[in-house]
Amino acid sequence: MSRVVRIHRHGGPEELKVEDEVVGAPGAGEARIRQTAIGLNFVDIYHRIGQFGADPMPFVLGVQGVGVVEALGEGASGVAVGDRVAYAGAMGAYREVRLMPADRLIRLPADLDDGVAAAGLLRGLTAQYLVRRLYRIQPGDAVLVHAAAGGVGLVLCQWAKHLGATVIGTVSSPAKAAIAAAHGCDHPVLYGQGHDWVAEVQRLAGGRGVPVVYDSVGRDTFMGSLDCLRPMGMAINYGTASGQVEPFPLQRLHKKPLVVTRPTLGTWIADRGDLERAADEFLNLVRGGIIRVEVARSYPLADVADAHRDLEGRRTTGSMILVP
């Protein structure tokens, strides 16, 4: 018997129920892993409240974790019993023991901490396709990162700085500005509470605009993001922490032609080779000290509701994990 956190209907943190389950033997191509750390992400909240539509109930949240392989099903390859492994993008992580397709697991190097891997892999894979594939940052670029003190934001700031960019990042408080600055953000900019962050970004970009905006906030920032771009710039909305971007007429882009995209990580790592290359690149930067992933706080699995309240209330910076 092992523990699992389920929701039986969409709603607030109180809908997260700790229950028992029996996890059977792995099927063909599967691995059974006993988890040691589970990553927390804002996408977990989207699923809890039903932002992506109705999920089949009961539903288990969580998309990334780390554990040890306990057993393998017929035909499973790439990992062995006893291996430390990580995964990202596979729903159902809020549990002590789980079954996973073996070909979605990444073997971890011995010198990488479980908590760091659980907290960082999804964010690192996201950052990798954002800065290396969707828009390839070039030395000298000035880039705008929204929520620069958040989990993905901190990775983006460090990676963009490593690639030679000047990093402008929006944050909601002076305390978060200091955190972003300590992780590669050259120019933290406050938004909200009457701050004209669009004008400040334009000033920092020399009045020309930036070539790319990485926007995980959504409704509250996206239209302003368009105003921050130079002609032919790219607005990337990869998250909606403040809500979905409201529809706007495509003709708005006629005056200043722009590229607007709403990508998803799953598309960029669907191929096993792409997954491995992205994970290797990110994990090697972490091991080399180029990118720091700090676990700001860990919660026992049973305290998952408190973790959601802290995450949803934006009372956190950096990364959080659940410990089974």
Amino acid 210: pLDDT: 98
Maximum CA pair distance of the chain? 61
Helix, strand, coil percentages in the chain from 3-state DSSP, rounded to 5: 35, 30, 40
pLDDT tier, 236 (very low <50, low <70, confident <90, very high otherwise): very high
Residue 242 has pLDDT above 80, yes or no: no
- Residue 60: both structure tokens together: 């288990």
Amino acid 317: pLDDT: 65
List, for residues 7-24, the tens digit of each pLDDT value.
999 999 999 999 999 999
Beta strands across the sheet bearing 59-60: 17-21, 2-7, 59-60
Element at 212 (helix H, strand E): strand 210-215
Rounded to the nearest integer, the mean pLDDT of the chain is: 94
Amino acid 264: pLDDT: 93
Interatomic CA distance for residues 44 and 62, integer angstroms: 6
Q: Say if CB 292 and CB 151 are below 8 A apart.
A: no
Q: Say if CB 140 and CB 163 are below 8 A apart.
A: no
pLDDT tier, 192 (very low <50, low <70, confident <90, very high otherwise): confident
User: Of 93, 85, 160, nearest to 130 (Cα)?
Assistant: 160
* Residue-wise DSSP of 282-322: HHHHHHTTSS---EEEEEEGGGHHHHHHHHHTT---SEEEE
Pick the CATH number of 2-121+272-323 from 3.90.180.10, 3.30.2270.10, 3.40.640.10, 3.40.50.280: 3.90.180.10
pLDDT tier, 220 (very low <50, low <70, confident <90, very high otherwise): confident
Q: Say if CB 32 and CB 97 are below 8 A apart.
A: yes
Distance of CA 305 to the CA centre of its chain: 19
Q: Dihedral sign for Cα 76, 285, 324, 240, please.
A: negative
Higher pLDDT, 142 or 41: 142
User: Of 123, 43, 42, nearest to 88 (Cα)?
Assistant: 123
pLDDT tier, 314 (very low <50, low <70, confident <90, very high otherwise): confident
Element at 157 (helix H, strand E): helix 151-162
Amino acid 107: pLDDT: 96
List, for residues 98-154, the tens digit of each pLDDT value.
999 999 999 999 999 999 999 999 999 999 999 999 999 999 999 999 999 988 999
Element at 39 (helix H, strand E): strand 30-39
Residue 194 has pLDDT above 80, yes or no: no
CATH class of 139-262: alpha beta
Burial class (CB in 10 A: 0-12, 13-18, 19+), 267: exposed
List, for residues 53-67, the tens digit of each pLDDT value.
888 999 999 999 999
Which of 128-142, 197-211, 231-245, 256-270 bottoms out in mean pLDDT, i.e. has the lowest?
231-245
Mean pLDDT of 193-212: 93
Residue 318 has pLDDT above 80, yes or no: no
Instruction: Judge if pTM exceeds 0.75.
Output: yes
Only one residue has tokens 């594939």, namely 133
Q: CATH 3.40.50.720 in the chain: give the residue spans.
A: 139-262
Mean pLDDT of 79-102: 97
Q: CATH 3.90.180.10 in the chain: give the residue spans.
A: 2-121+272-323
Residue 303 has pLDDT above 70, yes or no: yes
